[in-house]
């Protein structure tokens, strides 16, 4: 169970101090868990050491050990406004790299923080603890090999016994892709209200809605439909497509074709390899364009349900 802020603080401060009651012995790395919006992917165990592919939109990587570690080597205890708290060390015990970081890099550059949780890792049994690495913003570059370097001199027991496990662990990230999410139905049969914001779900975060806008094309019978893109306020992997205000809404009663073209980049500049297509229809009252609105493709049935 993940600690709340106050419990995490209390546990972190407690774990940061050595205790004569803690057993001697080197902490053994039991597993590495990659956490993304899609759930948990086990990317390393002592018996499964091959490189595993994980979703690029990782939001946390957990290094699970069989016992408590010396929290003082992972986090600093500081006093803020008269209250003691823990903060990540300026030089973390686990660092992140990939071979083409000079070119596959986000703006601002990728950064992360490394924290310690002395509570048992969910599903790993009592007595376990874990070190968690969190990107400042969700995501690692798509279609790349991410290598985590572990400094064993800072991953120790309370008595200084160094961890047992590899000094480097690598994970490959999946390719950059996109899906168009419709509320129901399949290509050509799904129906939405005229004012429906159509979500494009990317496999990794994007830099902004503007960064993918040149690759998004919407048309009716080959005639372009002007759209506006807006990034989700909390999920950097989602961009909403809405009809331009001059249309008053999606054209009703005709198939609307959406394409996200190959080349659309994730936040690290890694391009999508192939096109993504989706068709849908809008139903309900025909939209009324405001005065001076842009021309809208003709509909076959202005008010068909």
**The domain spanning residue 247 has which CATH number?**
2.60.40.3710
In a domain, 36, yes or no: yes
Q: Let me know whether 57 and 140 are in one domain.
A: yes
In a domain, 152, yes or no: yes
- CA dihedral sign of residues 86, 89, 92, 97: positive
In a domain, 287, yes or no: no
Q: For the CA atoms of 225, 229, 232, 236, what is the dihedral angle to 10 degrees?
A: 120
Q: Let me know whether 154 and 168 are in one domain.
A: yes
At 14 the pLDDT is 41
At 189 the pLDDT is 59
Give every CB contact of residue 171 below 8 A, 6+ residues apart in sequence: 32, 34, 43, 44, 51, 52, 53, 54, 145, 146, 148
Domain final residue, candidates 118, 144, 173: 173
Q: Let me know whether 20 and 49 are in one domain.
A: yes
Query: What is residue 5's DSSP assignment?
Result: H
Q: Let me know whether 214 and 200 are in one domain.
A: yes
At 296 the pLDDT is 52
Q: Let me know whether 88 and 205 are in one domain.
A: no
Q: Let me know whether 153 and 191 are in one domain.
A: no
In a domain, 295, yes or no: no
pTM comes to 0.85
At 16 the pLDDT is 44
At 100 the pLDDT is 96
Q: Let me know whether 64 and 143 are in one domain.
A: yes
Q: Let me know whether 133 and 254 are in one domain.
A: no
At 183 the pLDDT is 84
- 305 residues of the chain, pLDDT tens digit each: 334 433 443 444 444 444 445 678 999 999 999 999 989 999 999 999 899 999 999 999 999 999 999 999 999 999 888 899 999 999 999 999 999 999 999 999 999 999 999 999 998 889 999 999 999 999 999 999 999 999 999 999 999 999 999 999 999 999 999 999 998 654 455 689 999 999 999 999 999 999 999 999 999 999 999 999 999 999 999 999 999 999 999 999 999 999 999 999 999 999 999 999 999 999 988 777 776 567 655 554 443 33
At 73 the three-state DSSP class reads helix
In a domain, 68, yes or no: yes
At 9 the three-state DSSP class reads helix
Adjacency order of strands within the sheet including 178-180: 178-180, 198-202, 238-243, 227-231
In a domain, 304, yes or no: no
Q: How far apart are CA 130 and CA 33, in angstroms?
A: 10
Query: What is residue 269's DSSP assignment?
Result: S
Beta-strand pair 216-220/256-260: antiparallel
In a domain, 90, yes or no: yes
Q: Let me know whether 12 and 96 are in one domain.
A: yes
Domain that holds residue 138: 5-173
Computed on alpha carbons and rounded to an integer, the radius of gyration of the chain in Å comes to: 25
C-alpha to C-alpha distances, 109 to 54, 102, 132, 139, 290, nearest whole angstrom: 21, 10, 20, 12, 43
Q: Let me know whether 70 and 114 are in one domain.
A: yes
Q: Let me know whether 96 and 218 are in one domain.
A: no
At 185 the pLDDT is 55
In a domain, 213, yes or no: yes
At 222 the three-state DSSP class reads coil
At 1 the three-state DSSP class reads coil
Look-up: residue for tokens 């703006």?
107
Q: Let me know whether 184 and 92 are in one domain.
A: no
Domain final residue, candidates 158, 173, 188: 173
What total of structural domains would you count in the chain?
2
């Amino acid at each position: 169970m993940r600690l709340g802020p106050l419990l995490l603080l209390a546990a972190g401060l407690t774990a940061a101090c050595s205790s004569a009651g803690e057993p001697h012995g080197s902490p053994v790395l039991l597993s590495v868990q990659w956490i993304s919006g899609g759930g948990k992917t086990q990317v390393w165990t002592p018996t499964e050491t091959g490189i595993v592919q994980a979703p690029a939109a990782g939001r946390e990587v957990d290094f699970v050990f069989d016992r408590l570690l010396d929290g003082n080597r992972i986090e600093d205890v500081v006093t803020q406004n008269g209250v003691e708290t823990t903060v990540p060390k300026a030089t973390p015990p686990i660092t992140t790299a990939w071979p083409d970081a000079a070119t596959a890099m986000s703006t601002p550059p990728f950064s992360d923080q490394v924290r310690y949780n002395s509570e048992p890792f969910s599903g790993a049994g009592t007595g376990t603890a874990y070190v968690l690495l969190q990107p400042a913003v969700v995501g690692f570059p798509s279609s790349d090999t991410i290598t985590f370097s572990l400094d064993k001199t800072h991953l120790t027991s309370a008595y200084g016994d160094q961890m047992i496990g590899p000094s480097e662990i690598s994970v490959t990230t999946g390719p950059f892709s996109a899906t168009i999410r419709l509320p129901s139905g399949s290509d050509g049969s799904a129906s939405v209200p005229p004012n429906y914001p159509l979500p494009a779900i990317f496999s990794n975060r994007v830099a902004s809605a503007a960064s993918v806008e040149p690759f998004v094309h919407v048309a009716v019978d080959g005639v372009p439909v002007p759209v506006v893109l807006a990034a989700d306020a909390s999920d950097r992997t989602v961009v909403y497509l809405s009809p331009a205000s001059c249309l008053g809404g999606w054209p009703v009663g005709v198939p609307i074709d959406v394409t996200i073209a190959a080349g659309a980049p994730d936040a690290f500049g890694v391009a999508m390899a192939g096109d993504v297509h989706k068709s849908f229809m809008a139903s309900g009252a025909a939209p009324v364009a405001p005065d001076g609105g842009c021309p809208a493709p003709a509909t076959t049935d202005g008010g068909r349900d």
